[in-house]
């Protein structure tokens, strides 16, 4: 089977979707012919590419076609739109003439799903829509696009794509429920999680960096860690207000990462000694970052359940760490975590409840230990290899329809 995978970002881009696209492409290429159509690296890339209309390279079994999109930095949002538009302008005519049996589009740029649907319709091919983030809800919820005519038109087109796609892939049950609420046939919507990479049995665990752990833990008795993007989609004010009330309990709230909200959060927290901000650590230090916390925070603000599905949950449970989910109850990190026993939750609009949830954990070490064991058990259940096998079956079924 010949598969075309469409996504603007692909390594050496370092975005989450670039890494996910690479994982999907390499897994599918073990059995089928995979061509990725992406743009020039622009998302904090580890290396650049010179401008050409088209460049073709091969990484292992995956063929990569890069179109000559602009490569403005991701931090320049207005210019970044030119990256999106130039990618689509050049990718569509290239894809039209690439042979394939199935087209799979992801969600970079945010309207990639619409572009993929039109290309699949033009070519008369099966179309699998692999949704990583729900648009336009995510753009509206993040105040990137205002509610209004543009958002309504975008939503109308998106619903057409959801109905037209041969198969729709969501990354969580909460996202699937959001999709079904739009009137999509449940039989065509499947869940394929990002999944975990459990440590191989019998192998020695990775060596931890004591300096990284010390930098994160400081002198706090109990460390709550949020590692990742500080964008528009978390209940940040609840975390900061709740953590401030826990200063006398020896609890530290540590943010590792960056994002659009970091400057504001740092300003708000400037006089709060138990709240600290650290930059991202190199990728090979991730096991040490995960190990440094007593519990990890995963947060989604109300109204974005099923729109944002934090994939970092899987890395946390693979490390055997408890999760405190400050998110609506409809979110997978709450419903799954409580069902499997690896998370506790708090209302994203209630800092008092959040603080009380942490105090309850401080008093119950047995609960923390049980959550750690439950996390490791759940990590085996959601192993990435099994999730990728689900995606492979979805694509093969789409090709037969």
- The rounded distance, in Å, linking the Cα atoms of 236 and 144 is 18
State the pLDDT at residue 143.
67
Residues 172 and 226 in one domain: no
Instruction: Please tell me whether residues 153 and 214 are part of one structural domain.
Output: no
Enclosing H/E stretch for 118: helix 112-123
DSSP 65: E
Contact 44/72 with Cβ under 8 angstroms?
Answer: no
Q: What are 126's strand-pairing partners?
A: 102
Decide if 204 is inside a domain: no
Task: Answer yes or no: do 141 and 215 share one domain.
Answer: no
CA distances from 74 to 11, 39, 43, 183, 195 (A): 15, 13, 6, 34, 27
Residue 200 placed within a domain: no
Show the domain range for 320: 210-381
- Cβ-count burial 217-238 (b if 16+ within 10 Å, e if not): beebebbbbbbbbbbbbbbbbb
CA 39 – CA 41 distance, rounded (Å): 6
Q: Does residue 252 belong to any structural domain of this protein?
A: yes
Regarding whether 162 and 229 lie in a shared domain, the answer is no
Q: Is residue 203 one of the residues assigned to a domain? A: no
Same domain, 363 and 252: yes
Same domain, 371 and 394: no
Burial of residue 356, with CB atoms counted within 10 A of its CB: 0-12 exposed, 13-18 middle, 19 or more buried: middle
How far is it, in rounded angstroms, from Cα 293 to Cα 253? 10
The answer to whether residue 89 is domain-embedded is yes
Q: What is the token pair recorded at 356?
A: 């009380």
| Domain identity same for 163 and 215 | no
Classified as helix, coil or strand, 173 is helix
CA dist 346 and 326 (Å) reads: 5
Is residue 201 in a domain? no
Helix (H, G, I), strand (E, B) or coil at 336: helix
Give the pLDDT of residue 237: 96
The angle subtended at Cα 16 by Cα 210 and Cα 357, nearest 5°, is 60
Task: List per-residue pLDDT tens for the chain, 401 residues long.
Answer: 999 999 999 999 998 899 999 999 999 999 999 999 999 999 989 898 999 999 999 999 999 999 999 999 987 878 889 999 999 999 999 999 999 999 999 999 999 999 999 999 999 999 999 999 999 988 887 767 788 888 899 999 999 999 999 999 999 999 999 999 999 999 999 999 999 987 777 777 788 999 999 999 999 999 999 999 898 899 999 999 999 999 999 999 999 998 889 999 999 999 999 999 999 998 899 999 999 999 999 999 999 999 989 999 999 999 999 999 999 999 999 999 999 999 999 999 999 999 999 999 999 999 999 999 999 999 999 999 999 999 999 999 999 98
CATH classification of the domain holding 306:
3.40.50.2000
Bridge-based pairing of strands 222-227 and 295-299 is parallel
Both 166 and 310 in one domain: the answer is no
**Number of structural domains, the chain?**
2
Give the β-pairing of 323-326 and 295-299. Answer: parallel
* Same domain for 45 and 14: yes
CA pseudo-torsion sign 16, 20, 26, 29: negative
pTM: 0.91
Give rounded-to-5 percent helix, strand, coil for the chain: 45, 20, 40
Answer yes or no: do 340 and 216 share one domain.
yes
DSSP assignment of 177-223 equals HHHHTTT--GGGEEE----B-PPPTTSPPPPP-HHHHHHHHTT-SEE
pLDDT of 151 reads 87
Same domain, 28 and 169: yes
Identify which of 72, 60, 56 has the alpha carbon closest to the alpha carbon of residue 109: 72
- Specify if 205 maps to a domain: no
Domain-located, residue 278: yes
Domain shared by 139 and 237, yes or no: no
Give the Cβ contact number of residue 208 at 10 Å: 15
| Residue 60, Ramachandran bin (φ over 0: left; ψ between -120 and 50: alpha; else beta) | left
């Amino acid at each position: 089977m010949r598969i075309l995978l469409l996504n603007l970002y692909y390594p050496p881009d370092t975005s989450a979707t670039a890494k996910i696209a690479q994982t999907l492409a390499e897994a599918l290429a073990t059995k089928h012919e995979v061509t990725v159509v992406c743009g020039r690296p622009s998302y904090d890339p580890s290396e650049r590419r010179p401008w050409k209309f088209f460049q073709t390279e091969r990484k292992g079994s995956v063929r990569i076609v890069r179109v000559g999109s602009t490569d403005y930095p991701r931090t320049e949002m207005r210019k970044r739109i030119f990256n999106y538009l130039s990618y689509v302008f050049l990718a569509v005519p290239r894809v039209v003439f690439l042979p394939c049996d199935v087209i799979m589009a992801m969600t970079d740029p945010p309207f990639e799903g619409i572009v993929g649907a039109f290309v699949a319709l033009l070519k008369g091919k099966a179309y699998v829509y692999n949704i990583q983030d729900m648009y336009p809800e995510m753009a509206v919820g993040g105040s990137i696009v205002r509610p209004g005519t543009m958002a309504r038109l975008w939503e109308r087109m998106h619903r057409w794509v959801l109905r037209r796609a041969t198969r729709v892939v969501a990354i969580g049950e909460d996202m699937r429920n959001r999709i079904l609420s739009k009137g999509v046939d449940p039989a065509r919507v499947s869940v394929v999680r990002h999944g975990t990479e459990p440590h191989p049995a019998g192998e020695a665990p990775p060596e931890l960096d004591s300096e990284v752990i010390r930098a994160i833990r400081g002198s706090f008795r109990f460390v709550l860690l949020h590692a990742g993007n500080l964008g528009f989609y978390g209940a940040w004010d609840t975390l900061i207000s709740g953590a401030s009330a826990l200063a006398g309990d020896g609890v530290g709230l540590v943010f590792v990462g960056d994002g659009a909200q970091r400057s504001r959060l740092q300003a708000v927290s400037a006089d709060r000694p138990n709240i600290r901000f650290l930059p991202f650590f190199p990728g090979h230090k991730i096991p040490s970052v995960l190990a440094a916390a007593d519990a990890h925070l995963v947060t989604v603000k109300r109204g974005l359940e099923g729109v944002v599905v934090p994939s970092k949950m899987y890395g946390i449970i693979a490390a055997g760490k408890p999760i405190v989910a400050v998110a609506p109850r409809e979110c997978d990190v709450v419903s799954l975590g409580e069902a499997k026993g690896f998370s506790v939750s708090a209302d994203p609009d209630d800092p008092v409840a959040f603080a009380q949830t942490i105090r309850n954990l401080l008093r119950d070490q047995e609960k923390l230990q049980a959550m750690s064991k439950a996390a490791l058990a759940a990590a085996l259940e959601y192993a990435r290899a099994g999730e990728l096998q689900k995606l492979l079956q979805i694509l093969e079924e789409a090709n037969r329809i």
